[in-house]
Amino acid sequence: MPLGKPWRDLDRETVARAPDRPGVYELGDGDGTVLSVDSGILRDELKTALAYGDAEAVRWEEAHTRERAAELATDHRDRLGR
């Protein structure tokens, strides 16, 4: 089950708008296929993904703590079978 958020283009504008808070995020290709699921401080993680990754799209969900974000990412990967 994917995150219940719409895909956004993974570009500088999106990264600049990402919250500077913990969260879980999905990276996807241009067709909306989930490439990876991870967690961390969203803006920092997305800066890295933009600079070094090959994803074209992103969606995220904020969490209150890094620990909760990591739990959500694990649960989400389990649901995706990854």
Q: Which comes out higher in pLDDT, residue 2 or 12?
A: 12
Domains identified in the chain and CATH numbers: 8-80 (3.40.1440.10)
Buried b (16+ CB within 10 A) or exposed e, 67-78: eebbebbeebbe
Q: Tell me the pTM.
A: 0.92
The SS3 call for residue 2 is coil
**H or E element in which residue 69 lies:** helix 66-80
Average confidence score pLDDT of the chain: 94
Q: Is the pLDDT of residue 1 over 70?
A: no
**CA–CA gap between residue 70 and residue 52 (Å, rounded):** 21
Residue 30 tokens read as 């241009």
Query: Token pair 């600079």 is at which residue?
Result: 51
